[in-house]
Amino acid sequence: MGPGPANAHPRVLRAMAADLLGQFDPEFTAYMEEVMALYRPIFGTTNRWTFLIDGTARAAIEASLVSLTRPGDRVLVINFGRFGLLLEEILTRIGAKISRLDIPWGEVAAHDQIAAAIDEAAPQVVATVHGDTSTTTAQPLAGLGALCRAAGAYSYVDATATLGGMPFYTDEWELDVVTCGLQKCLGGPAGSAPITISDRAAEAIFARRHIEKGLSQGEAGGPAPRIQSNYFDLAMIMDYWSEKRLNHHTEATSMLYAARECARLALEEGLEARWARHHRAGKAMVAGLRAMGLTVYGQDAYRMANVTGVFIPEHVDGEAVRRRMRTEFEIEIGGAFGPLTGKIWRIGAMGVNARTHKVLITLGALEAVLRAEGLAVPAGAAVDAARSTF
């Protein structure tokens, strides 16, 4: 019950045990096509360019930023936690001219603030995060894409922590590039990163297409500067995922099976039902923690459904509690990063773990551990309060 990675669905683990296929095997390329189709509804898009980046979620973040942003481009980062700072860190390496709209941890940016920041920075790219697990806060994104498009900018959103667990509408929100990972709400292992790219962003990326020497048949390169990374060159990766099947990397076969199974499970359950399941689990967690007399971190209106921050009570050793949870109950809960280190625990309920019984068991265990660590916690109150929300 940490903030991710979470447990994988057993069907995903079984899918990964299937035999390997060659990357140009028709059966395998059919799976690639199927994966593209499966992830479109999950992203809430009809984007043709919806596929997988091989690597953890960060691989897709880096591929997006290095392919969208040219050195010297102006980029606005809307930063409200560790993963906003990661965007800045990657963009610094790219050589972008970065402006930051810094939002205090635990808060979100207001639409007007974003509009003003875009006006001031005149960015070519705006990059942000949907749910930043470091702060357990989700930035509302409706209207962001429209602001960016009106300003002639491309938008990038890291939705790693929320896709499949909270409502997400790439097309309705007019977002250009959105990326994810499997190990949060999608209930898979880390190692494959779904991505979707709007046609207008794909066009800009293809303008930077320079096919690598060993594969080139003498095609002219695009008019825009070559993408600085080979592995994360989205133009070449899209050529590989297109009917051209132009070889780039060897697609990570078993991870593709995993990503496919994650998507099939999500769509079988139904996205609305899945979002509701995460919402129920998160709400029960919050109610239970409060009934124990603990203070939940952040604001209810902007809380992520799938991970809850809670202040470590005074005179309680946060690490000792985490250790006891793990050794006595085999339940993982998370610590925190940056300014929240040692101040809050982060407790997840995502993917297969977003189940009411898992929330109840976690609350019961935490109550017992807190009592063992000397905190007077009302017996049974947490579980009762959580149950009353169902």
Ligand X SMILES: *Cc1c(COP(=O)(O)O)cnc(C)c1O
CA-CA distance, 6 to 222, in Å (whole number)? 41
| CA–CA dist 364, 290 (Å, integer) | 13
In the bound state with ligand X, the residue whose beta carbon lies nearer, of 254 and 389, is: 254
Cβ atoms < 10 Å from Cβ of 59: 20
Q: How far is the CB of 144 from ligand X (least distance, A)?
A: 16
For position 132 contacting ligand X by CB under 6 A, the verdict is yes
CA distance 40 to 29: 17
The minimum distance between CB 158 and ligand X, in angstroms, equals 5
Q: How far is the CB of 333 from ligand X (least distance, A)?
A: 15
* Smaller CB separation from ligand X, 70 or 184: 184
Nearer of residues 50 and 133 to ligand X, judged by Cβ: 133
For 271, counting Cβ atoms within 10 Å of its Cβ (0-12 exposed, 13-18 middle, 19+ buried), the class is middle
Give the residue, chosen from 57, 175, 236, 237, that forms a contact with ligand X under the rule CB under 6 A. Answer: 57
Tell the smallest beta-carbon distance from residue 385 to ligand X (Å): 27
Does 208 show up as a binding residue in the annotation? Answer: no
56 binds ligand X (CB under 6 A): yes
Residue 345 or 385 having the CB closest to ligand X: 345
Using CB under 6 A as the binding rule, the residues of this chain from 145 to 164 that contact ligand X are: 158, 160-161
Dihedral class, residue 108 (left if φ above 0, else alpha if ψ from -120 to 50, else beta) = beta
1 contacts 360 by C-beta, under 8 angstroms: no
Q: Which x/- pattern, by CB under 6 A, does the window 231-250 give for ligand X?
A: --------------------
Member of 4, 145, 165, 318 binding ligand X (CB under 6 A):
4
Of 35, 36, 58, 227, which one interacts with ligand X (CB under 6 A)?
A: 58
Q: Where are the beta strands (DSSP E) in 125-187?
A: 125-129, 131-132, 137-138, 154-158, 177-179
Collapsed DSSP state (helix, strand, coil) of residue 198 = coil
Q: How far apart are CA 145 and CA 153, in angstroms?
A: 9
Over the window 186 to 205, marking each residue x when it contacts ligand X by CB under 6 A and - when it does not, the resulting string is: ----x---------------
In the complex with ligand X, the residue whose CB is nearer, 45 or 128, is 128
Q: Is 98 in the site for ligand X (CB under 6 A)?
A: no
Binding residues for ligand X, total number by CB under 6 A: 14
Instruction: Encode 190-202: b = buried (16+ Cβ within 10 Å), e = exposed.
Output: bbbbbbbbbeebb
Query: Closest CB to ligand X among 117 and 182?
Result: 182
Judged by CB under 6 A, the stretch of 40-48, 50-58, 340-348, 372-380 that binds ligand X is: 50-58
Query: Could you give the maximum distance between any two Cα atoms of the chain, in Å?
Result: 74
Tokens 């989205």, located at residue: 234
The residue range among 29-37, 55-63, 119-127, 222-230 that interacts with ligand X, by the rule CB under 6 A, is 55-63
| CB of residue 379 to ligand X, shortest distance in Å | 34
One DSSP character per residue, 60-129 reads HHHHHHHHH--TT-EEEEEESSHHHHHHHHHHHHHT-EEEEEE--TT----HHHHHHHHHHH--SEEEEE
Amino acid at 342: G
Q: Is 303 in the site for ligand X (CB under 6 A)?
A: no
Is 353 a residue that touches ligand X (CB under 6 A)?
Answer: no
- Please answer whether residues 195 and 63 qualify as being in contact, where contact means their C-beta atoms are separated by less than 8 angstroms: yes
Nearer to ligand X, 63 or 289 (CB): 63
Pairing of strands 307-311, 192-197: unpaired
Between 165 and 288, whose beta carbon lies closer to ligand X? 165
Binding positions for substrate: 346
Which residues bind to ligand X, rule: CB under 6 A?
4, 56-58, 83, 129, 132-133, 158, 160-161, 181, 184, 190
Binding positions: 346
